[in-house]
Amino acid sequence: MSVPLHQSNFTYADYLALEASSNVKHEFLSGQIYAMAGGTPEHAALAAAAIGLLFAQLRGGNCRAYDADLRVRTPSGLATYPDISIICGPSVRDEDDSQAVTNPALIIEVLSRSTEDYDTGDKFEHYKTLPSLKQYVLVSHRDRSVEVWTRENDNRWRSAIVREGATAELLVGAQLDIHELYEAAAEPRV
């Protein structure tokens, strides 16, 4: 998470007013509004490749993929825009924010140098407060791998690293072939 916009306490209504008039996305947490940094071309390509691979598999089923324009609000108070959210069944809207959903079954974040610690730490802790969330997938920017966190029946989270040559099985009825993901995101050869 970056430095807050100002060092004062904002209400959620203040945040919504800012979002409605801004061409930059922001996160909201504990009365603070944080501008979200833009991503690199490589980050954008990985997110696009992942959603492209998943969209085809989910089409016609009970689950739907959303890109980073979908705001998610957690019970812990974080409002943010995950790289990819998948919702199974109808979306549930936040009672204070009709543009934010509260029931993703799966969230995918593409890591970067500037967001890796936040995405794997505090942000994940906020995501864990979503009762609907079954998996959290972290796409590496360092090597061809993804880390899949799965919520167990006892509410504990289990981690598995899926590397090049293997396939990540997702509980939403889809899978991510790691080779295919990174090849789809690769810069075209001239």
- Residue type at 116? E
Provide mean pLDDT across the span 136-143.
96
Q: Residue 135: pLDDT band by 50, 70, 90 thresholds?
A: very high
Average pLDDT over residues 146-172: 97
CA angle 131, 170, 59 (to 5 degrees): 100
DSSP3 helix / strand / coil % (the chain, rounded to 5) = 25, 35, 45
CB atoms within 10 A of CB 131: 11
Question: pLDDT category, 24, cuts 50, 70, 90?
Answer: confident
Q: What is the pLDDT of residues 61-97, one digit of tens each?
A: 999 999 999 999 999 999 999 999 999 999 999 999 9
The pLDDT confidence band at residue 126, using thresholds 50, 70 and 90, is very high
- How far apart, in whole angstroms, are the C-alpha atoms of residue 137 and residue 150? 9
For residues 108 and 82, is the Cβ–Cβ distance under 8 A? yes
Return mean pLDDT, the chain.
Answer: 93
Confidence tier at 35 by pLDDT (50, 70, 90): confident
Phi (first) and psi of residue 98, to 5 degrees: -70, -10
Taking the CA atoms of 124, 125, 127 and 130 in sequence, report the sign of the dihedral they define: positive
Domains annotated for the chain, with CATH where assigned, are 1-36 (no CATH), 40-185 (3.90.1570.10)
Residue 2 has pLDDT above 90, yes or no: no
Q: Which residue has the tokens 């209504």?
A: 13
Helices (H) and strands (E) in the chain, counts: 5, 14
Q: What is the pTM of this model?
A: 0.92
pLDDT at residue 3 greater than cutoff 80: no
